Structure 1
Amino acid sequence: MARKLDKILVIDLEATCWKDKTPEGMHNDIIEIGICLLDVKSGEISDNRGIIVKPERSIVSDFCTELTTITQNLVDMEGIAFTEACRILKNEYDAHARPWASFGAYDLRQFQRQCTELKIAYPLGPSHINVKTLFALKYQLGHETGMAGALEMLNIPLEGTHHRGVDDAKNIAKILHRILQ
């Protein structure tokens, strides 16, 4: 399959989490896939959405809701199965054929781990761009910084709710566009 290099798929995941250690019998499950497409030439950000995913092996803790604003009720009412979310990535975003980016390596590892554990075909392509590392290298920081800090350094206002995938994907795309300029 030919690579599509006109746009980069930008992804930000939110997953179930707990204030302390993971409770017995629970697993970190993806509960939101924030996604958008960044046009490499123009910098236009399109197809921005948040796919709410119903966790299969855990529940949304109060701590997780405080961090993300995502509630158990929201995932129960609007969430789709992880397999369906993967199908959307592959079929609607050509995720397997495009380079994709996230802020740090967490999203890459979480996607790989959950696909492996649930025996689901990995929907993303092999070309992952770690925007967090790329930003630190581009601006010769000597250390990595968080997404909010990177936006602040670039004088780009943080748009939406921090730790909501739909909003963070768009914010990450803005950082990546600036790096690519």
Structure 2
Amino acid sequence: MVRYFMVIDLEATCVYPRQHDWEPEIIEIGAIILDSKLNEISEFQEFVQPVVNSTLSSFCLDLTKITQANVDRADTFPDVYERMLTWMRSNGLNTTSRSGNFTLVTDGIFDCNQYIQHQCKLCKLEYPEWAKSFSNIKSHFMYVLRARKVNGRTHNMSEMTEKLGIEMDGQLHRALDDAKIIVKIMKGIRGRRPGFAFNTNATYRPDWTLRFFDD
């Protein structure tokens, strides 16, 4: 069993109607470090200033409840990312290896394959080794509860918490609040399957192309 888990959620710029040439930029990072028993060790939350589409769309403002002032006052991704790496290392995480001492946990495959990938390309940063394999909580949920897809898609957070009998709290589409919900889902799964390992079950795909709500 790994020593740590790092649960991460990202919010990004978005528009509606959807545009296939839209370049999503990370505007908020929320992350929680847990020990192997799912006890919380530390939290991280910061807003990020977008540079390609610096003015948030009305759809994005309404969906996330992130304000224009939040991102205008924030640093750009390279600086925020460096502070996150410092936070990770200060809490004992090995950030230099794909097979380090922690497992990255996400809600679906978007955060790694779309948001982190695009942001690294935009900022000319190398995609992090520690995010090349990760634990998709949606797949674990479906496996443990033997759940089927809903209208051809995997379950969202509201549906997972409902099926697990977990109270939904916080603001959906806010990075740290969503990360906290993922932690609740992990604990709910452990309640059904004590000792469940949350092994990595997804990998970064460098050939990923933008697709909307494909989880």
Distance 1:142 1:28, change over 3 A: same
Specify every segment of 5 or more residues in structure 2 that has no aligned partner in the other structure, as ranges: 195-215
SS of structure 1 residue aligned to 2:44: strand
CA shift at 1:5, angstroms?
2.4
Q: Judging changes above 3 Å, is the alpha-carbon distance between structure 1 residues 112 and 74 closer, same or farther for their aligned structure 2 residues?
A: same
Cα drift, residue 23 of structure 1:
9.1
Q: Which one-letter code corresponds to 2:15 in the other structure?
A: W
- Aligned positions of 1:48-127 closer than 5 A: 48-58=43-53, 59-77=55-73, 79-93=74-88, 94=93, 96=95, 97=100, 98-109=102-113, 110-123=115-128, 125=130, 126-127=132-133
Matched residue SS, 2:139? helix
Aligned residue for 1:99, secondary structure, equals strand
Match of 1:128 among 115, 127, 134: 134
Is 1:20–2:25 an aligned residue pair?
no
Contact between 1:95 and 1:124, CA under 8 Å: does it hold in 2?
no
Give the distance between the partners of 2:83 and 2:129, measured in 1 at CA. Answer: 11
Residues 71 and 167 (structure 1), Cα distance of their counterparts in 2 relative to 1, 3 Å cut: same
TM-score (structure 2 length as normaliser): 0.74
Question: Would the aligned equivalents of 1:100 and 1:124 in 2 still touch at CA under 8 Å?
Answer: no
Tell me: CA distance 1:83–1:124, structure 2 relative to 1, closer, same or farther (3 Å): farther
Which amino acid letter does the alignment assign opposite residue 127 of structure 1? S
1:165 aligns with 2:175: yes
**Which stretch shifts more, 54-63 or 114-123?**
114-123
Cα distance in 1, alignment partners of residues 94 and 178 from structure 2: 18
Alignment CA distance shift 1:89-1:166 (3 Å): same
Task: Report sequence identity in percent.
Answer: 32
How far the C-alpha of 1:95 sits from its partner, in A, is 6.5
Which residue in the other structure is 1:137 paired with? 143
Cα offset for 1:45? 2.3
Q: Does 1:175 align with 2:185?
A: yes
Distance in 1 of aligned mates of 2:129 and 2:87: 12
Following TM superposition, by how much is the alpha carbon of 1:155 offset from its aligned partner in structure 2, in angstroms?
1.4
1:75-105 deviations in whole A, cap 9, x for unaligned?
A: 112x122112221232211362421011000
CA-based RMSD: 2.0
Amino acid corresponding to residue 117 of structure 1 in structure 2 = L
Distance 1:30 1:88, change over 3 A: same
Q: CA deviation at 1:157?
A: 1.2
